[in-house]
A and B are shown apart, each in its own frame.
Chain A
Amino acid sequence: MEILQFPFMQRALAAGLLIAVTCSLLGVFLVLRREAMAGHGLAHVTFGGVALGLLISVAPVWSALGVAIAGSVGLLKLKERAGIHGDTAIGIVSSAGFALGIVIASMSGKFSVELFGYLFGNILAIGPGEVWVSALLAAVVLASVTLNYHDLVTITFDHEMARASGINVGRLDMLLAVLTAVTVVLAMKVVGLLLVAALLVIPAATGLIAAASFLRAMVLSGLSGGLSVLGGLVFSYYLDLPASGAIVLTATFLFLASFSLKGPTGRRP
């Protein structure tokens, strides 16, 4: 294929596929834990992290990672300790993080264009170094999910039963919080902060609609995440569309297709 001749396209494809599959797999857990919107909320917090990195001249991916992890763990603690609903906790943490970003951005006043790039993402501009960082982070998430697969499935299915069988639920909740933060930062590269939730939620929803077992939901979700990036990049190249929008719309199309092919099978008649 002609589009594969360009190094920028090769990088976009490699990083995009890896990140999309990672997000999709983790997304299945988040969706089932009703934490789908945590990704969206954390993206706002991450905006604050990016602004901070630009201000203090640290590579934004690291400052974003730090702030996202802090926000994600903060969310978890808020839910556990404060006795408030998850969506309220997300509302508080995400607005605070985003407000921080606005304040920091206006303080220095000169990097709004760069910040803008993080909001909308630009996978086609990803550099060789960033590909390696993304690959490393994605590998960490994938390894963590694989090594803790059955524990994660069990706590997601039934928290109470998991605790009763001696599984350290607190440690796994913490692990998921950290992994969510990492995937948000990864997804930011591909689709931008405003569309991070799309990579976490849409392929997972596609997999969940079609699957008869959890493992198959994971596989289908990973596949549809990968396909979305592939399709999105092809469309964006040939039709001259923004990559992030094309990727998310492809994901949405796949969701609708699997929805209409399979129908809602989850509920008992």
Chain B
Amino acid sequence: MSEPDVLFDIDNLSFGYGGERILEEITFRVTRGDFLAIIGPNGSGKTTLIRMMLGLGRPDSGSIRIMGESVESFRSWDLIGYVPQRATELDPLFPASVREVVAMGLLPHKRWPRFLVPSDEGVIDEALEMVDMVAYKERRIWALSGGQQQRVFIARALASKPEVLVLDEPTAGVDADAQERFYNTLETINRMRGVTLILVTHDIGVITKHVNKVACLNQRLIFHGSHQDFCDSEQAITLFGPDHHLICHRH
């Protein structure tokens, strides 16, 4: 693995609120092309960890390097798309059209004053096509279903043509059918466009079917490795029970 392929290099990261330790001595790398699932129980520090990876919080100790640069000096945030946890629980009175939400994703590329230009319309369409939502472009975002909203937020993250997409529990509250389609979309984005994906999830089915790396977090990083190694590990057995081989089996 050559160094340019390391997108995130997290070294010995620790963090706490007040005296309480939330993350302890986390060390791992994300490489180009990964489809990484971060799993762990509620409150295990998943959101806290990815927020730090996005420069939204500072660790107490340890370091984060993004594409070879320290997180403090990293400026190319347009290369990283982010879909925050509970994105669909924003203000339902905000009158944004689907197009306007996706357009927000174009801003990081632009210099001040950041006006939209006619060619941006094509980029917006393209991003919406990837998530199969072009037909809803002029609709008010809150008039869509939760799953559709989630797709629009992905389109927003994709609009800046990122190299990495970070998604924090994007399918919470999305029905099983829509989830399946959604993950297929993610897989396509990962395989066809080469976008690296970091996905926080509680959904075991996804891990078994779609991802190729797993990080299991519970204050410490208790497992990090390939999907196959994960299935062979004791963590998988303790998490999923003796039937884990059924879940881990891929068709």
Binding site for B on A (CB under 8 A): 32, 146-151, 153-154, 156-158, 160-167, 208, 211-217, 265-268
A93 to B99 Cα, complex, angstroms: 39
Q: How far is the CB of B76 from chain A (nearest CB, A)?
A: 8
B104 touches A154 (CB 8 A): yes
Binding site for A on B (CB under 8 A): 54-56, 75, 77-78, 80, 82, 84, 87, 90-97, 99-101, 103-105, 107-108, 112-116, 138-140, 142-143, 156, 160
A217 touches B160 (CB 8 A): no
A268 touches B142 (CB 8 A): yes
The 6 closest A-B pairs by CB, nearest first: A166-B77, A213-B97, A164-B82, A147-B113, A266-B93, A165-B108
Other contacts beyond A150-B115, A158-B104, A213-B96: 10, CB < 8 A: A146-B113, A147-B112, A151-B107, A158-B84, A164-B55, A165-B82, A165-B160, A167-B108, A212-B139, A215-B100
Q: A213 with B99: in contact, given A161-B84, A164-B77 (CB under 8 Å)?
A: yes
Q: How far is the CB of B140 from chain A (nearest CB, A)?
A: 5
Residue from B96, B101, B107, B114 having most chain A Cβ neighbours under 10 A: B96
A100 to B78 Cα, complex, angstroms: 47
A165 touches B142 (CB 8 A): no
Q: Which residues of A contact B84 (CB under 8 A)?
A: 158, 160-161, 164
B94 touches A165 (CB 8 A): no
A46 to B194 Cα, complex, angstroms: 56
Least CB separation from A205: chain B residue: B93
A162 to B99 Cα, complex, angstroms: 17
A188 to B7 Cα, complex, angstroms: 54
B114 touches A213 (CB 8 A): no
Q: B92 touches which one: A148, A153, A211, A266 (CB < 8 A)?
A: A266
Q: Which residues of B contact A216 (CB under 8 A)?
A: 95
**What are 15 A-to-B residue pairs whose CB atoms are below 8 Å?**
A32-B94, A146-B113, A147-B113, A150-B103, A157-B90, A157-B101, A163-B56, A164-B82, A165-B82, A167-B107, A211-B95, A212-B95, A213-B138, A267-B92, A267-B142
B105 touches A165 (CB 8 A): yes
Q: How far is the CB of B79 from chain A (nearest CB, A)?
A: 10
A166 to B91 Cα, complex, angstroms: 22
Q: Which residues of B contact A160 (CB under 8 A)?
A: 56, 84
Q: Which residues of A contact B97 (CB under 8 A)?
A: 212-214
A216 to B139 Cα, complex, angstroms: 13
Q: How far is the CB of B160 from chain A (nearest CB, A)?
A: 7
A164 touches B104 (CB 8 A): no
Least CB separation from A269: chain B residue: B143
A5 to B138 Cα, complex, angstroms: 45
Q: How far is the CB of A219 from chain B (nearest CB, A)?
A: 11
Q: How far is the CB of A35 from chain B (nearest CB, A)?
A: 13
